[in-house]
Amino acid sequence: MTTTDTIVSREPNWLTGQILVAMPAIQDPRFAQTVIFICAHTQEGAMGVVLNQPLKRVKFVELLAQLGIEPNPPQREMRLGTGGPVDDSRGFVLHSADWIVEGSLRVREHYVLTANLEVLQAFASGGGPARGLLVLGYAGWDAGQLDEEIRQNAWLSVPADEAIVYDEDHTTKWVRALAKLRIDPGMLSGTAGRA
């Protein structure tokens, strides 16, 4: 059994709450140099949100106006991002676990995913979770697809940390996520292979 087989043979949800880091071999512009927080990884598939693609087409205050959420202007701002190519008109808030409502998905101990307007209303009013990121869309994988992509060396996984999840320094997230594994991106090959 190879090391890669050992890594992929873990529990079905072993990636839940982890961060995926795209390898240079990924040429798809939607995923090149992305950092993705995995919200769910089961035998049925996986779902995550991209952390390092800021949303440029709309601002938080404009989104609140479109949704009719008061107060506007909001008492707090929330960072907006492109969460992935699937269902890119649907919003998800990845946030700290100090605030949760019915229907929220607890992702491990420190993170929660909420997909309703209540979290935006709370944030706009100055309450809600201490930290949050609103993304439009998500990244999704069918059953076994993500595991196979990892076997093909398309992704590395690292433990999530709040700096990578929530900070606004998008340009360095990929490098910082690789640094958690003590990997210099300049030493990575753009071609995948197996020994």
Q: Report the Cα–Cα distance between both ends of the chain, in Å, rounded.
A: 12
Q: What is the mean pLDDT of residues 163-169?
A: 94
Q: How far is residue 23's CA from residue 50's CA, in Å, rounded to a whole number?
A: 14
Q: Over the stretch 23-55, which tens digit does the pLDDT of each residue have? A: 998 989 999 999 999 999 999 999 999 999 999
Pick 89 or 185 by higher pLDDT: 89
Q: Is 30 helix (H, G, I), strand (E, B) or coil?
A: coil
In the prediction, which pLDDT does 9 show? 42
Q: How far is residue 93's CA from residue 110's CA, in Å, rounded to a whole number?
A: 14
DSSP character at residue 156: E
Contact of 80 with 131, CB cutoff 8 Å = no
Q: Is 70 exceeded by the pLDDT of residue 79?
A: yes
DSSP character at residue 54: B
In the prediction, which pLDDT does 2 show? 34
Contact of 180 with 165, CB cutoff 8 Å = no
Max distance between CA atoms of the chain, in angstroms, equals 58
The overall average pLDDT reported for the chain is 89
Q: How far is residue 20's CA from residue 64's CA, in Å, rounded to a whole number?
A: 30
Contact of 118 with 98, CB cutoff 8 Å = no
Q: How far is residue 23's CA from residue 125's CA, in Å, rounded to a whole number?
A: 40
pLDDT band per the 50, 70, 90 thresholds, residue 60: very high
Residue 108 CB neighbours (<10 A): 15
Sorted by where each starts, the structural domains of the chain and their CATH numbers stand as 3-181 (3.40.1740.10)
pLDDT band per the 50, 70, 90 thresholds, residue 11: low
Q: How far is residue 153's CA from residue 194's CA, in Å, rounded to a whole number?
A: 8
Q: What is the mean pLDDT of residues 57-79?
A: 93
**% of the chain with per-residue pLDDT over 70:** 89
In the prediction, which pLDDT does 189 show? 56
pLDDT band per the 50, 70, 90 thresholds, residue 19: very high
Q: What is the mean pLDDT of residues 115-141?
A: 96
Pick 11 or 72 by higher pLDDT: 72
Q: What is the mean pLDDT of residues 60-66?
A: 94
pLDDT band per the 50, 70, 90 thresholds, residue 1: very low
Q: How far is residue 93's CA from residue 81's CA, in Å, rounded to a whole number?
A: 10
The single-letter code of the amino acid at 110 is H
Pick 5 or 123 by higher pLDDT: 123
| Buried-state track 35-69, b at ≥16 Cβ within 10 A, e below 16 | bbbbbbbeeeebbbbbbbbebeeeebeebbeeeeb
- Angle, in degrees to the nearest 10, between helices 60-67 and 117-124: 120
